[in-house]
Copies of this chain bind each other. A is one copy, B any other.
Amino acid sequence: MIRLDESQYEKMVHDTDALREKWADLSTDDRLHSFLKLERAAAEDFFLTLKTDEQAELLVSLPVFERRFWLRILPPDDLADLIQEFEPELRYAMLAELDPRLGKEVAALLAYAEDQAGGLMNPRFARIRPDMQVGEALRYLRKQAHENLENLRFIYVLDRDQKLLGAVSLREIFLAPDQKLVQDIMRTNLVEANENMDQEALKQLFASHGLMAIPIVDGTGRMKGIVTADDIVDVVEEEATEDIQRMAGVEVLEAPYLKINLLSMIKKRAGWLIILFVGEMFTATAMGYFEHEIKRAVVLALFIPLIISSGGNSGSQASTLVVRAMALGEVRLRDWWKVLGREIFVGLAIGAILGSMGLLRILIWPSRETLYGEHFFLIGVTVATSLVGVVLWGSVSGSMLPFALRKCRLDPATASAPFVATLVDVSGLIIYFTMASFILRGALL
């Protein structure tokens, strides 16, 4: 630990804050240069607050003996994330630079996928045996504390085979009389997670139970490590980012916006745009069928964008709300009929509002007769009823699509706003021209 007097501390805070401020604008060389100019204490503090990819960038340029120092100040789980940033050849070189025990721990962590519980856990945790007396346990913990344990708040009780039996808090050990046995004060109703659990499920576990830490066990119940809430904060951000990108019809970028290279960026975005473009081509086909109607009443064409975009917008709203509610576990598959009922009601209500606005717009427009012809009232009615139909259909299809996708075991977030909008565009045109041919028959058509 670093101890500083007040003036040193002030200066250090100033240096690191200044550097953090301009960090993003510095070149790799300048970053290394400024970093090396920091005092050791400030540099340590600064290094720990860098993102993993920034740490990696610095380490690559450092001489080996320096690099070893920086690797060693990280806990095993962060170290595993860091080493994963490097090329495979370099990874082994780095593992070799660690103390044998730490190297073994990190190598074990690297075997897990990054988004599994095992890939998030810290293999170091405080452990005691069930048949220890409280006084003995305290002395034993004090000894363990020397080995740089990240966490002493959660103490786990393991048997000789490393199977997890229970947990006890330091507070409970503090409170208990010295002769009491650990097994008599430990809690056994623990929330635990398997090492292969997906980080999304693990996140739900943290959120629903409001926990600070979850012990991770293998298939036979042997404890492998702990995941703490601070690691989950990053997971939640990451999962939200992925959902948001999918909802906008972008493949998950997997890198910050400014870092990803332009070719990958185009790939990630063009995929869905091409699919949507092909889907949207059906609008041209659909309108081909109504070309005759458009020729006789060109005025109908004027309202096409207004009508289909209203359907698209209400559909995007509905799908986004449902997809997010599913991700939070607020809406489950069997709730589909409840959602359907709500969306029919909401769709009709909003359709009625927009429909009346559309009708009014046409009826009170000063040049309505020159612009829309003598049948402007019937055109107004056509637009208004189509709006009700399209908004209703948008809300219903937008909200039901995520259920259909999940039912087929696909990601509901695939029901992105652009996807729903495209779907509703094609059907919206059909609704509009069908309405028109009913209402305007004999008048304009």
Contacts and interface: CB of A to CB of B under 8 A. Distances in A.
Nearest to A322: B257
Interface string A187-216: 111000000000000010011111110000
A249 interface: yes
Contacts of A184: 3
Interface stretch (A102-110, A270-278, A435-443): A270-278
Contacts of A64: none
Interface stretch (A87-95, A112-120, A156-164, A328-336): A328-336
A130 interface: no
B49 A208 contact: yes
Nearest to A5: B188
A283 B361 CA distance: 13
B1 A187 contact: yes
Contacts of A72: none
A298 B305 contact: no
Contacts of A60: none
A350 interface: yes
A253 interface: yes
A232 interface: yes
B209 A49 contact: yes
Residue among A170, A208, A257, A274 with max Cβ neighbours from chain B (10 Å): A257
A237 interface: yes
A38 interface: no
Contact of A302 (B288, B325, B418): B288
A421 interface: yes
A230 interface: yes
Contacts of A171: 145, 149, 152
Contacts of A321: 245, 248, 250, 253, 257
A369 interface: no
A287 interface: yes
A324 B229 contact: no
Nearest to A207: B233
Interface string A297-308: 011011111101
Interface stretch (A29-37, A217-225, A310-318): A310-318
Residue among A232, A253, A302 with max Cβ neighbours from chain B (10 Å): A302
A421 B185 CA distance: 61
A45 interface: yes
A167 to B, nearest CB: 10
A304 B256 CA distance: 35
B281 A306 contact: yes
Nearest to A306: B280
A146 B172 CA distance: 9
A430 to B, nearest CB: 12
Contacts of A56: none
A172 B258 CA distance: 41
A18 interface: no
A346 interface: yes
Q: Which 8 interchain pairs have the tightest Cβ spacing? A: A240-B240, A248-B320, A283-B305, A229-B229, A257-B325, A153-B153, A256-B330, A229-B230
Given A2-B189, A281-B361, A283-B305, 16 more contacts: A13-B189, A152-B171, A207-B237, A233-B233, A236-B237, A244-B320, A257-B325, A266-B350, A269-B314, A276-B309, A284-B305, A288-B302, A291-B302, A305-B308, A305-B429, A309-B421
Interface of A: 1-4, 9, 12-13, 24, 41, 45, 48-49, 78, 141-142, 145-146, 149, 151-153, 169-172, 174-175, 184-185, 187-189, 203, 206-212, 228-230, 232-234, 236-237, 240-241, 243-245, 247-250, 253, 256-259, 262, 265-266, 269-270, 272-274, 276-278, 280-281, 283-284, 287-288, 291, 294-295, 298-299, 301-306, 308-310, 312-314, 316-317, 320-322, 324-325, 328, 330-332, 335, 338-339, 342, 345-346, 349-350, 353-354, 357-358, 361, 371, 391, 417-418, 421-422, 425, 429
